[in-house]
Amino acid sequence: MGYTELKNRIDDRQVTLLDGGIGTEILRRGYTWASHQLKTEPELNLEIHQDYINAGADVITTNTFQLSKRSFRNHFANDKHLAAMGASGLLDRAGELIHESVALADKARSSLGRSNTPIAASITTLEWCFRPDRNPDVEKIYDEYLEELTDYADAGADIFLFETFNSTSEAEVAIKAAKELKKPAWVAFVPYQDGRLLGGQTMAEVVDAMARNEPDVLFLNCAPPEHITAGLEQLAPLWDKPLGVYAHVGKFNPPEWQFTDDYNAEEYLQECKHWHDLGATVIGGCCGTTPEYIKKLTEYFS
């Protein structure tokens, strides 16, 4: 389905399924996720997208989490140090990889006769998403977001999925840039065990900010299922527009992921059923989930 049809379905509160983890799936299949494997293992990226489409995902996401010009620049003390120590063309790499990621997602959907399956650009905070204390000055980042989003738009992404945001202020800048490019914005915030955002804001504050900006879907993501539940219980009664969720399973084991026995596909389905009862209708998986998880959701919700 194209985006207009998808949006109509979402607005009608029909269950819509996202894909699951991509970086962790690369890791699970025997490769490091650190480089996104877009240049070294493009066929692996392609196969994962295909597996999620075959599992029933209505939307597939690019393998571009934390892929930005800033993420490369942050390895260096300043621009002079970058010029002295950095590889040639390093700051152009993010844009190149963004285009390659969208192209691989497009190839996956075309190869399965699903050319109308929307591609969501996976875009997270400019600094590390789990460190709200490092959030950038929101008065200075609009042009940075606009440049990054332009790469995704030029590459052919259908949706800007701003995910694992820990505060509303940066999300508002990102949505503003998305609107300038006339692309749909979906926004996902990471909650903590107390039901607030990881940065400390209440769900009432989230609703106030998002009501001014009107993302097509408001999500909670990238947290253990119990944290998602705590946040959703507070958010759902306050938000009367489409809601979504996608939790992670396992533990963050820097720089990669630790797979655990917590929340297998059947147990994750039970959590999703509860989230659906609370009001979430756009549902998928975050780190640690696999095509098996999405297939389980498809079998139940379809």
Note down pLDDT in tens along the chain; length 302 residues.
789 999 999 999 999 999 999 999 999 999 998 789 998 999 999 999 999 999 999 999 999 999 988 888 888 898 889 888 989 888 888 999 999 999 999 999 999 999 999 999 999 999 999 998 999 988 999 999 999 999 999 999 999 999 999 999 999 999 999 999 999 999 999 999 999 999 999 999 999 999 999 999 999 999 999 999 999 999 999 999 999 999 999 999 988 899 999 999 999 999 999 999 999 999 999 999 999 999 999 999 98
Residue 1: per-residue pLDDT = 74
CA 196 – CA 198 distance, rounded (Å): 6
Residue with token string 């084991």: 253
37: alpha, beta or left, given left = phi > 0 and alpha = psi -120 to 50? left
Residue 215: per-residue pLDDT = 97
Q: List the beta bridge partners of residue 161.
A: 122, 186
The alpha carbon of residue 103 and the mean position of all alpha carbons in its chain are separated, in whole angstroms, by 17
Quick count: other Cβ atoms within 10 Å of Cβ 237? 12
Please classify residue 197 by burial: count the beta carbons closer than 10 Å to its beta carbon, then call 0-12 exposed, 13-18 middle and 19+ buried.
buried
Residue 82: per-residue pLDDT = 82
Tell me the residue length of the chain: 302
The alpha carbon of residue 216 and the mean position of all alpha carbons in its chain are separated, in whole angstroms, by 14
Residue 43: per-residue pLDDT = 96
CA 50 – CA 53 distance, rounded (Å): 5
Residue 84: per-residue pLDDT = 87
DSSP state of 197: B
- The pTM of this model reads 0.96
**Position 110: which residue type?**
S
Residue 197: per-residue pLDDT = 97
Domains and CATH numbers, the chain: 3-64+92-301 (3.20.20.330)
Q: Which of 9, 97, 17, 6 is CA-nearest to residue 60?
A: 17
